[in-house]
Structure 1
Amino acid sequence: MSRAKRKMDHINYALSTGQCRATWLDCVRFVHQALPGTGVADVSLEPKTGDLNLKSPVFINAMTGGGGSETLQLNAMLARAAKETGIAMAVGSQMAALKDKNERESYQVVRKENPQGIIFGNLGSEATVEQALEAVEMIEADAFQVHLNVVQELTMPEGDREFRGALERIGRIAEELDVPVIVKETGFGISQEAAEALAGTQVSAIDVSGFGGTNFASIENERRKRKLAYFEDWGIPTAAAIVECRQGFGGTVLASGGLQDAGDLIRAFRLGADATGIAGSFLKHAVSLGETGLIEEIEGLHEDLRMLMTALGARTIEDIRTSPAVISGELLSYLQQRGYETGHFAAPSKN
């Protein structure tokens, strides 16, 4: 099967299988502030994300490219929406374009449509420094994602079966590239142990990409004769992965994996995320509502965040970190068993 055909299969299966909504973000409940002492006009949505320089706390996460004309058109639409709303955008894995020059246009269209925007390049952890440099040059990327997808590859019929040396390759890429390097999972979460290992490199940010959104094990199982069902419930739910990565990594922490609305985003910020990425939900809006509908959705997301932050008395994304919130259910049990102290989340704000 060609890479282009596989890319389109991934998109179609992502739309048909949906998201499992098992992020555990619903286990976070804010303590209402009847006297927030702020107004909507006081709220700033610009996050602190180090050398990523994001202007919005939400970005379009890696999805598309390398699937011929269909993904070219989709990437062009997403890029225009990102330009109109002032948010960053990541392209899907560029390996297809490194293997087949005819696929380059489906990625380069993003820079063409959004010449001044913040764009992330993307390759898997098998990539060499030379491939990473070529991927960055291809789209004049402002940052570069290295994605980790062990479970997806193991489930993929034609996937990789060898994962040795990934940390060393990531370290070399982070050393050699002139743009910030982001390490992201693909829907199965990043643990404290992995975050600590990455903290020993020059990686700028970790995208936790937790369990609970688009499930690539389920997608790949649709393409298998004998399904590996045990991988379909595998991974660290997004809420727990944020805490794990915040504990193990001192740089920028990005949250993704099943985030769909402002309520999800603001809970992610409370748990320790600096910014958030959305893929599956934006893909569905793009396909069902078109470009105008997607732009309206993103603008509505920004408006909803301002409303929620006002209700909490939070003027900045960082202020949300001190907003009292009660942790319950499976998330509480998980964090306690992993040895994390949880009382500080609910402690009264000292502001």
Structure 2
Amino acid sequence: MSSERKDQHVDLAAAQQAAPPSRNDFDDVAFVHHALAGIDRDRVSLRTSFAGITWPVPLYINGMTGGSDRTGRINRALAIAARETGIPIASGSMSIALREPDTAPTFRVLRDENPDGFVLANLSADADPDQARRAVELVDANALQLHLNSVQETVMPEGSRGFSAWPAAIEAIVAAVDVPVVVKEVGFGLSRRTLERLAGLGVAVADVSGAGGTDFARIENSRRPEADYAFMAGWGQSAVCCLLDAAHRDTTGPTAADATPSATPATPSPIPALLASGGVRTPLDVVRALALGARAVGVSGVFLHAVLGGGEEALVAKIRAWLTQLGQLHALLGASDPAALTATDLLLRGAVHEFCELRGIDAAAYSRRSAHEEHR
């Protein structure tokens, strides 16, 4: 990926953020308001833990960019904001730094400006173990993101057209690096079936990274001379639908139907601990994702917009405001920590409700979760 293309991606992503969709699937998730459920704010802890990792807050700056002078300046602002607010930060794809070492400082700045923070390196799922180790070393990473972007590659004029080697590559990298591996989509979602397969490859954490935010099919189509892949816009599942899908195990398929009455019920296949991103616009969206089972929530577009508009000072102010509001929303909902949000009552409407019906998910059960919790 050339430095020029990195800059193009920033411009096209910023253009999408400047004119976002009027709504997305987060708007189809509402909390049932229980007027006496609230607790004192000082009883709330925003700390979250998953797969041996503990973060002080369930919010992180997701991977965006790097690889050019301009994107290096953006990464510097993001790193300063992460340092000043104490939230984790992920790198954009670092493949270019491994091919073109002169671009490495545009990624290394994430650690240089944030020496004590939690930093995630980032590579494509077709990387090899040596590349993975080098990426981790470049930013002294605490974890490694491997991104799945087959839709983006399909539309990208110079993209890859081979994806069959990815599972083996992921498994090899998980075995080779000494930091946790987080597999993420780039905005098209991870299905329950995909999550089960990732768990089988040894992956302990996955970011479902759903549709509804930055659309890389649209971005890559804008780079095509004929713009002839416009029909791919909107591909995939939202983070909301992915989280619902992840919590549901299909018991209506051939395996269940063929089981004899005396057979021992199948144990649900494990899945990784879940992070969520894609289309997150407000602290309310963060709380919605946490209530649907995410352990933490990543934000890219809104934070990029803040940096481009006002630099690191603007982003620091926005993140601090979000953290304040997250604590207040927890207190309002009676949740003493992010995990407690999974016992709140949710109303699933519109397209999300339709998704539940089509996937065999009991949407109504989400509206009665607090009663179930009280009777446990």
Q: Is the pair's TM-score, using the shorter chain for normalization, greater than 0.5?
A: yes
Change (3 A) 1:317 1:115: same
Which letter does structure 2 place at the counterpart of 1:125? A
How does 1:106-185 map onto structure 2 within 5 Å? 106-185=106-185
Give RMSD over aligned pairs: 1.3
> Residue 38 of structure 2 contacts residue 333 of structure 2 at CA under 8 Å; is this kept in 1?
no
What amino acid maps onto 2:210 in structure 1?
G
For residues 246 and 280 of structure 1, what CA distance do their matches in structure 2 show?
Answer: 27
TM-score (norm 2): 0.90
| 8 Å Cα contact 1:22/1:213 also seen in 2 | no
1:286-336 C-alpha deviation (Å, 9 max, x unpaired)? 111221111010011011111111111111101100011111111011012
In 1, are the aligned partners of 2:189 and 2:238 still within 8 Å (CA)? yes
Moved more, 341-350 or 257-266: 341-350
Q: Do the aligned partners of 2:157 and 2:220 also contact (CA within 8 Å) in 1?
A: yes
Q: Which stretch of the first structure deviates more once superposed, 225-234 or 309-318?
A: 225-234
Give, in angstroms, the shift of residue 348 of structure 1: 5.0
Cross-structure match for 2:315: 294
**Structure 2 counterpart of 1:10, which letter?**
H
Task: Report the CA distance between 1:17 and its aligned residue.
Answer: 2.4
Q: Distance in 2 between matches of 1:132 and 1:20?
A: 36
The residue number in structure 2 matching 1:278 is 299
1:68-108 Cα shifts (integer Å, max 9, x gaps): x2111111110010011010000000000001000000011
Q: Report the secondary structure of 2:183's partner residue.
A: strand
Question: Please, which runs of 5 or more residues in structure 1 have no aligned partner?
Answer: none
- Can you list the C-alpha shifts for 1:235-254, whole angstroms capped at 9, x where unaligned? 11221012223447533200
- Of 325, 335, 340, the match for 1:314: 335
Identity %: 37
Give structure 2 stretches of 5+ with no counterpart.
249-268
Q: How many residues align?
A: 349
The secondary structure found in structure 2 opposite 1:62 is coil
Which TM-score applies when normalising by structure 1? 0.96
Pairing 1:261–2:282 present: yes
Q: Flag the 1:22–1:130 CA change in 2: closer, same or farther, 3 A.
A: farther
The residue identity in structure 1 corresponding to 2:4 is: K
Encode CA deviations 1:8-31: one digit per residue, 9 max, x unaligned.
Answer: 000011011224365411111111
Contact 1:198 1:249 in 2 (8 A): no
Which residue is equivalent to 1:187? 187
Q: Which amino acid aligns with 1:25?
A: F
Q: Which has the higher Rg, Structure 1 or Structure 2?
A: 2
Contact 2:46 2:327 in 1 (8 A): yes
Asked whether the 8 Å contact 1:208–1:245 carries over to 2, the reply is no
State the distance in 2 between where 1:124 and 1:36 align.
Answer: 44
How many angstroms does 1:262 deviate by?
0.7
What secondary structure does 1:123 align onto? Answer: strand
Helix, strand or coil at the partner of 1:158: coil
Task: Name the amino acid aligned to 1:6.
Answer: R
Q: Secondary structure at the match of 2:55?
A: coil
Q: Which residue of 1 aligns with 2:245?
A: 244
SS of alignment partner, residue 202 of structure 2: coil
Greater CA drift, 47-56 or 129-138 = 47-56
Q: Aligned equivalents of 1:348 and 1:93: distance in 2?
A: 39
The question of whether the paired residues in 1 share the 8 Å contact of 2:83 and 2:114 is answered with: yes
Q: 2:128·2:169 contact (CA, 8 Å) conserved in 1? A: yes
